[in-house]
């Protein structure tokens, strides 16, 4: 079992790894011995998180600066990674943003901002990382791309988040398309349809609608770091080497509640 679920020394890049779901992912992987690289626009905050994570497990964490809403930064973050590593075992596309506003006033700039970070960056960064992902990938030890989608890309969202929910549905389909394209290179591509987790992005929503959100979860609670750790260690290890193109709900039962 320790070999099957082993992520020790695996080189993993987590976008948006300094806060929210990204922080929980990075924490779980460092605790299990991975070499985790986190990136965000705020390098000061990213450095602080990396220093904190380096005290919390046998793995290590390094901060890289990038603005993944820009295609050129998707290339430059891989160039920065090359200063430390000659390959990449796992790419976790987690960076994202949201925009909630009534339909009548929903602005075009919301679509541009949300789609650029939530969807286009996944494609641009995966393409930029391909040479590193291919480097050590084999049939018995494939590389992995893990995209963080959302249950709001499957169900109709509770709030008016038109660009966000549309972008996450597109992330799920892009995951399937990339999985098919990259299977011959021994690169697995899967997505997590995340339910409600506390994060910087969701904090304001939960402050206003906490009771409504929690009541929509069959398990009657928000997700936590251990929920992320279990699934991400599985998807980042050899234990998942026969799974690709899957959209895996991590939602505490929101989707089954939605169909009652």
Phi-psi region of 75 (alpha: psi -120 to 50; beta: other; left: phi over 0): alpha
Tokens at residue 64, please?
A: 């890289």
Q: Is 23 a catalytic residue?
A: no
- Going by their DSSP bridges, the two strands 187-194 and 247-250 should be labelled as parallel
DSSP 221-250: S-B-HHHHHHHHHHHTSGGGTT--S-EEEE
Query: Residues 23, 162, 164, 186: which is the catalytic one?
Result: 164
Compute the C-alpha angle 96/163/176, nearest 5°: 70
Whether the CA torsion 41, 44, 45, 48 is positive or negative: it is positive
> Which residues in the chain belong to E strands, given as ranges?
11-15, 35-40, 60-65, 90-93, 143-150, 187-194, 247-250
Active site residues: 164
């Amino acid at each position: 079992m320790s070999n099957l679920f082993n992520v020790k020394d695996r080189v993993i890049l987590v976008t948006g790894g300094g806060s929210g779901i990204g922080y929980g992912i990075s924490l779980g992987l460092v605790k299990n011995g991975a070499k985790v690289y986190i990136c965000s626009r705020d390098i000061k905050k990213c450095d602080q998180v990396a220093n904190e994570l380096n005290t919390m497990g046998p793995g290590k964490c390094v901060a890289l600066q990038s603005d993944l809403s820009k295609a050129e930064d998707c290339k430059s973050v891989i160039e920065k990674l090359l200063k430390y590593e000659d390959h990449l075992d796992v790419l976790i596309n987690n960076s994202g943003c949201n925009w909630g506003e009534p339909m009548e006033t929903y602005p075009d700039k919301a679509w541009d901002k949300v789609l650029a970070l939530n969807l286009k960056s996944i494609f641009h960064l995966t393409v930029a990382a391909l040479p590193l992902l291919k480097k050590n990938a084999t049939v018995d030890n494939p590389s992995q791309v893990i995209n963080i989608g959302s249950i709001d890309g499957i169900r109709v969202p509770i709030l008016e988040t038109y660009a966000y929910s549309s972008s996450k549905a597109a992330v799920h389909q892009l995951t399937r398309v990339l999985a098919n394209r990259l299977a011959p290179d021994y690169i697995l591509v899967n997505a997590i349809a995340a339910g409600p987790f506390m994060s910087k992005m969701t904090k304001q929503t939960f402050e206003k609608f906490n009771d409504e959100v929690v009541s929509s979860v069959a398990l009657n609670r928000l997700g936590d770091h251990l929920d992320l750790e279990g699934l991400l260690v599985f998807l980042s290890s050899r234990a998942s080497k026969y799974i690709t193109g899957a959209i895996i709900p991590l939602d505490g039962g929101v989707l089954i509640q939605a169909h009652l």
